[in-house]
């Protein structure tokens, strides 16, 4: 646990939350600034800042629970699908956003760019070189 982490404080019940799921290792609760109604956050109870720093068991467990919750969200509120997002920049504790979405909700996607000639290959080779 990290005493300065807002999510660790939620885990310890020092900050109230609307919990949707909890077991020995994970917690899912309503986002207080939702993109849409039913927006949940899934977190491990062990403090780890970034997903890539979590052990494989934690990552797999978080996504298994997310899948279960996605089905519950879709079936309970009738959204068209549930968007999964792992950003991590806003709160320094690995978390998964489960965002109910509708085909006509007008929610804009991410801005994209176009690679310059050969740029994609160079970047791919950099990533491959450290795999």
Going by the DSSP 8-state scheme, the letter that residue 116 receives in this structure is P
The Cα angle at residue 52 between residues 38 and 119, in degrees rounded to 5: 100
CA trace torsion 51, 48, 60, 111 (10° rounding): -20
Tokens of 88: 């991590």
Q: CA 21 to CA 41: how far, in whole Å?
A: 10
Residues tagged active-site: 95
């Amino acid at each position: 646990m990290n005493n300065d982490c807002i999510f660790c404080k939620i885990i310890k019940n020092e900050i109230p939350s609307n919990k949707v799921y909890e077991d020995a290792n994970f917690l899912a609760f309503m986002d207080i600034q939702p993109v849409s109604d039913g927006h949940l956050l899934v977190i491990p109870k062990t403090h780890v800042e970034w997903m890539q720093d979590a052990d494989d068991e934690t990552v797999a467990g978080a996504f298994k629970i997310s899948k279960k919750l996605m089905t519950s969200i879709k079936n309970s509120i009738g959204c068209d699908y549930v968007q999964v997002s792992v950003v991590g920049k806003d709160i320094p504790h690995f978390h998964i956003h489960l965002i109910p979405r509708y085909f006509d909700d007008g929610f804009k996607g991410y801005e994209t760019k176009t690679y310059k000639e050969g740029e994609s290959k160079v970047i791919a080779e950099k990533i491959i070189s450290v795999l």
